[in-house]
């Protein structure tokens, strides 16, 4: 008998619902993106996001069950992102999940959004060996975690200023490439020379696994301002490729330094920025020859989705970690925190 988990994700600007069997068989994985709605503002507008989640979620639930070919009575548990994220957006998912779990009489499974990003790896590689070193790079986070075993998290380092995705988004905006910035920079960089524009890399103190992207971002902004002042043109593909290369080098260098220190059984990438092909390529080409097994989820499972939430919820289901009906959304939920404490 399979265990079928319904996953709900509404932490930011994607309304997502998925149905996953046994933590690794995706029966349905639907995402209603709000990108076009927010693009006119150059970023996510929280009030607009929560209203759109509310309008979309019920329709998406019906469609996900239909696509999965399962009935409501076959759902064994309802997993939902409890945080971190935008409070108004999270609330739509949490309230929907509570109502469903109550009505169906099945466990409510509270999932941390970063935990879900990490579990995207187990969704595609359930046998991924632990201890695991996982870099979570998203719009809000750049966190390097060491997981001695499933469900146990040690934060080795994190960004001291901008998240990697945030740096992509801000630099893309300064370059006039639009929102979201990561994919736009990756596209622009495709025809560029990554060595064309010299840009700084910040490695911080010896032994630190923290990151810093604000100096790099400022260097790009200054470069653009100088080019405008002096009337010299900017080769956008070269600048995009050089910026992307600097981010990738800083990320991969820190992951490898940490891997040498903690000797994990495998290394994984997670979060929206992990969809970046240059990052995936660089990590694979440097970590595998050094003897590390590397796993990277397919790009569509790196960016926000509900299949990863259902997968993380499945492991909580197996451990009997049911959340109470008093569950509330927590905008700044830490991954080490028990999901409902």
Contact with Zn ion (CB under 5 A) among 89, 138, 159, 242: 138
Q: Does 304 bind ligand KG4 (CB under 6 A)?
A: yes
Q: Does 10 bind ligand KG4 (CB under 6 A)?
A: no
Contact with ligand KG4 (CB under 6 A) among 276, 295, 306, 314: 276
d(CA 271, CA 171): 19
d(CA 249, CA 282): 8
Binding partner of 183, given Zn ion, ligand KG4, none, CB within 5-8 angstroms per partner class: ligand KG4
Element (H, E) at 239: helix 236-262
- The answer to whether residues 268 and 150 touch, using CB atoms and an 8 Å cutoff, is no
Residues numbered 141 to 180 that lie near ligand KG4 (CB under 6 A) are: 165, 168-169, 180
At its nearest, how many Å lie between ligand KG4 and the CB of residue 205?
A: 27
- The answer to whether residues 157 and 209 touch, using CB atoms and an 8 Å cutoff, is yes
Residues numbered 236 to 255 that lie near ligand KG4 (CB under 6 A) are: none
CA nearest neighbour of 117 among 339, 332, 302, 333: 302
The residue range among 86-94, 98-106, 131-139, 277-285 that interacts with Zn ion, by the rule CB under 5 A, is 131-139
Paired strand residues for 79: 7, 109
At its nearest, how many Å lie between Zn ion and the CB of residue 296?
A: 15
Q: How many contiguous H segments (helices) and E segments (strands) does the chain have?
A: 11, 10
The residue range among 70-78, 101-109, 138-146, 294-302 that interacts with Zn ion, by the rule CB under 5 A, is 138-146
Q: Does 303 bind ligand KG4 (CB under 6 A)?
A: yes
Element (H, E) at 259: helix 236-262
Contact with ligand KG4 (CB under 6 A) among 23, 107, 183, 192: 183
The residue range among 22-30, 133-141, 232-240, 314-322 that interacts with ligand KG4, by the rule CB under 6 A, is 133-141
Token pair for 56 = 């979309």
CB nearer to Zn ion: pick between 282 and 304: 304
Q: Does 93 bind ligand KG4 (CB under 6 A)?
A: no
DSSP 73: G
At its nearest, how many Å lie between Zn ion and the CB of residue 166?
A: 12
Element (H, E) at 293: strand 293-295
The residue range among 158-166, 228-236, 256-264, 300-308 that interacts with Zn ion, by the rule CB under 5 A, is 300-308
For the CA atoms of 205, 268, 315, 261, what is the dihedral angle to 10 degrees? -40
Question: Which strands make up the sheet holding 14-21, listed edge to edge?
Answer: 25-33, 14-21, 4-9, 77-83, 108-112
Residues that bind ligand KG4 (rule: CB under 6 A) add up to a total of: 19
Collect all residues with Cβ–Cβ distance below 8 Å to 195 and sequence separation of at least 6: 242, 245
At its nearest, how many Å lie between ligand KG4 and the CB of residue 191?
A: 16
Q: Does 304 bind Zn ion (CB under 5 A)?
A: yes
Instruction: List residues near ligand KG4 by CB under 6 A.
Output: 12, 138-140, 165, 168-169, 180-183, 186, 271-273, 275-276, 303-304
Instruction: List residues near Zn ion by CB under 5 A.
Output: 138, 304
């Amino acid at each position: 008998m399979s265990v079928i988990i319904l996953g709900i994700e509404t932490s930011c600007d994607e309304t997502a619902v998925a149905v996953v069997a046994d933590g690794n068989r995706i029966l349905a994985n639907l995402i209603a993106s709000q990108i076009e709605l927010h693009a006119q503002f150059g970023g996510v507008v929280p009030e607009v996001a929560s209203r759109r989640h509310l309008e979309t979620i019920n329709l998406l639930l019906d469609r996900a069950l239909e696509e999965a070919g399962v009935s409501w009575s076959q759902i064994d548990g309802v997993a939902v992102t409890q945080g971190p994220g935008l409070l108004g957006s999270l609330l739509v998912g949490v309230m929907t999940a509570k109502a469903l779990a109550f009505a169906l009489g099945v466990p409510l499974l509270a999932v941390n959004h970063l935990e879900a990003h990490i579990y995207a790896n187990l969704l595609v590689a359930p046998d991924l060996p632990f201890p695991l070193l996982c870099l979570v790079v998203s719009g809000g986070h750049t966190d390097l975690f060491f997981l001695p075993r499933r469900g146990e998290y040690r934060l080795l380092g994190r960004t001291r200023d901008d998240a990697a995705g945030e740096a992509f988004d801000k630099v893309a905006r300064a370059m006039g490439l639009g929102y979201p910035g990561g994919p736009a920079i990756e596209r622009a960089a495709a025809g560029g020379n990554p060595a064309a524009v010299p840009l700084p890399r910040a490695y911080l103190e010896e032994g630190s696994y923290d990151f810093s992207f604000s100096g790099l971002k400022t260097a790009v902004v200054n470069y653009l301002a100088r080019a405008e002042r002096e009337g010299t043109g900017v080769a956008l593909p070269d600048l995009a490729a050089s910026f992307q290369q600097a981010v990738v080098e800083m990320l991969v260098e820190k992951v490898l330094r940490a891997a040498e220190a903690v000797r994990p059984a495998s290394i994984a990438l997670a979060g929206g920025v992990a969809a970046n092909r240059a990052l995936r390529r660089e990590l694979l080409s440097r970590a595998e020859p050094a003897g590390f097994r590397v796993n990277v989820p397919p790009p569509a499972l790196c960016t926000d989705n509900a299949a990863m939430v259902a997968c993380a919820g499945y492991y909580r289901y197996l451990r009997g970690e049911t959340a109470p009906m008093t569950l509330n959304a927590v905008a700044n939920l830490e991954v080490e925190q028990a999901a409902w404490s």
